[in-house]
C-alpha cells in the first residue's frame, strides 16, 4: 500500500511538472492583447508624433494593436503616475522624456518616483540642444562667449520656455560648468524664446534646433555657438560640440519607453528587441531625422544609467540654483 501511495504521489508530481512545462508563461506568450502607450503631452506634439511614427511598425512586430493615449497634465506627472500604478505586465507603457525626472523633483506630490516606479525599456530618440546668442553679443565662438560672460557677470539674460523647464536646468548646468553667471527670463513656449533672443530682449538660448531658429542663424540674426553633444552631429552640421570647450557637458532631450516597476524581464527584453528592430528601419530613421531627432535605441540598463545620472545632476542644479516650478 505504501509503495502504491508513493508511486501515485510521484506520478501526480510528474504530471504537474509536465503541465507547467507545457503551459506558456505570461512573459513567453506576451503580447496577447493590445498595448497602450501613454503620452504625457497633448496630441500633435513631439512625443505624440514620435509614438505615432513607431506605433504601426511596432504593432506589426509584436502582432498586437498599439493604442496611443494622450494624458497631458502636471508637466507630465499625471501620465507618469498613471503608468506607475498600472499592472506590471507590459500592456501599459509610458513614452516620456527627461521631464519625467524633472517633474518629480519639482513637485513632491507628483505621485511617483522615477528611479523606483519604472522598468526602463529603451531610449527611442535624442534631440541635442544648441546654443545660440543675439548677434550683438561680442562673441563669434564658444570660447569668446565664455570669456565675455566671465568678464561681465549678470549682464547676459538667457531665455527659457519656463521655470524648471529642461532649458532652464540645462542652461544652469552650462553656467555652472563654465563658471559664468546669467539671468533667466522665462517665456511661454520655445517659439517665444527664439523671438526674444532675435530681438535682443534676451541674449542667450540653449534649446532644441528648429527650422525657424536655424533660419535666423542663416540670416545672421542669431549666432550659433555650438551643439550640446560630445561629438559632431548631422542634426546641426558644422556646429562645434560644446564639450570640446567645456569637457563633459552634454544636454540632450531623450525620449523613450518605460514600463511599471516589476514588469517581468522577459517582457522588457521582448519590448526592447522590438524597439531596436523598428529603429533599424531607414524610413523611420529618416522621418525622425526630418523632425530634428536622432533615432537612438539603447539597452534597458543604459536607459536606467542615463536616468540615474540625470536625476542626480538635475537634483543638484535645482538645489544649488533654488529652481522652482510655476
pLDDT band at 211 (very low <50, low <70, confident <90, very high): confident
| Contact (CB, 8 A) for 258 and 46 | no
Whether residues 175 and 157 fall in one domain: yes
Q: Which of 11-15, 207-211, 316-320 has the lowest mean pLDDT?
A: 11-15
Same domain membership, residue 140 and residue 106: no
Asked if the structure places residue 72 within a domain, the reply is yes
- 147 and 224 share a domain? yes
| Residue 116 shares a structural domain with residue 259 | yes
Strand partners, 38: 69, 94
Read off the pLDDT band of 2 (50, 70, 90).
Answer: very low
List, for residues 30-88, the tens digit of each pLDDT value.
Answer: 999 999 999 999 999 999 999 999 999 999 999 999 999 999 999 999 999 999 999 99
Residues 220-246, mean pLDDT to the nearest whole number = 93
Q: Which is higher by pLDDT, 138 or 15?
A: 138
| pLDDT class of 28 with cuts at 50, 70, 90 | confident
Q: Model-level pTM?
A: 0.88
Same structural domain, 58 and 104: yes
Mean pLDDT for the chain? Answer: 91
Location of C-alpha cell 540598463: 301
Same-domain pairing of 90 and 159: no
Which structural domain, as residue segments, surrounds residue 199?
A: 130-244
Number of domains in the chain: 2
For residues 276 and 297, the answer to whether their CB atoms sit within 8 Å is yes
pLDDT tens string 110-169: 999 999 999 999 999 999 999 999 999 999 999 999 999 999 999 999 999 999 999 999
Residue 326 belongs to some domain of the structure: no
Using CA atoms, how far residue 66 sits from 31, 63, 270, 288, in Å, is 11, 9, 15, 19
Domain boundary among 192, 220, 244: 244
Amino acid at each position: 500500500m505504501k509503495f502504491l501511495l508513493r508511486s501515485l504521489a510521484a506520478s501526480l508530481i510528474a504530471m504537474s511538472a509536465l503541465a507547467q512545462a507545457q503551459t506558456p508563461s505570461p512573459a513567453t506568450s506576451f503580447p496577447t492583447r493590445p498595448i497602450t502607450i501613454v503620452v504625457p503631452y497633448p496630441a500633435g506634439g513631439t512625443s505624440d508624433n514620435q509614438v505615432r511614427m513607431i506605433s504601426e511598425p511596432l504593432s506589426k512586430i509584436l502582432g498586437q494593436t498599439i493604442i496611443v493615449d494622450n494624458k497631458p497634465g502636471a508637466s507630465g506627472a499625471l501620465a507618469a503616475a498613471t503608468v506607475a500604478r498600472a499592472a506590471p505586465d507590459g500592456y501599459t507603457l509610458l513614452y516620456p522624456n527627461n521631464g519625467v525626472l524633472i517633474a518629480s523633483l519639482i513637485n513632491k506630490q507628483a505621485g511617483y518616483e522615477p528611479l523606483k516606479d519604472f522598468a526602463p525599456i529603451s531610449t527611442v530618440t535624442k534631440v541635442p540642444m544648441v546654443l545660440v546668442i543675439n548677434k550683438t553679443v561680442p562673441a563669434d565662438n564658444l570660447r569668446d562667449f565664455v570669456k565675455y560672460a566671465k568678464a561681465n557677470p549678470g549682464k547676459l539674460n538667457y531665455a527659457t520656455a519656463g521655470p524648471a523647464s529642461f532649458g532652464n536646468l540645462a542652461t544652469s548646468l552650462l553656467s555652472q560648468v563654465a563658471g559664468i553667471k546669467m539671468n533667466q527670463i522665462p517665456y511661454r513656449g520655445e517659439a517665444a524664446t527664439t523671438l526674444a533672443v532675435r530681438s535682443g530682449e534676451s541674449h542667450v538660448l540653449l534649446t532644441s534646433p528648429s527650422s525657424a531658429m536655424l533660419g535666423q542663424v542663416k540670416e545672421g540674426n542669431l549666432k550659433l555657438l555650438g551643439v550640446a553633444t560630445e561629438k559632431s552631429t548631422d542634426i546641426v552640421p558644422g556646429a562645434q560640440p560644446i564639450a570640446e570647450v567645456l569637457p563633459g557637458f552634454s544636454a540632450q532631450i531623450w525620449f523613450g519607453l518605460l514600463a511599471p516597476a516589476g514588469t517581468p524581464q522577459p517582457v522588457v527584453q521582448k519590448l526592447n528587441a522590438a524597439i531596436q528592430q523598428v529603429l533599424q528601419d531607414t524610413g523611420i530613421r529618416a522621418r525622425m531625422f526630418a523632425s530634428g531627432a536622432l533615432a537612438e535605441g539603447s539597452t534597458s540598463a543604459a536607459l536606467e544609467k542615463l536616468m540615474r545620472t540625470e536625476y542626480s545632476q538635475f537634483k543638484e542644479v535645482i538645489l544649488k540654483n533654488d529652481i522652482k516650478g510655476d
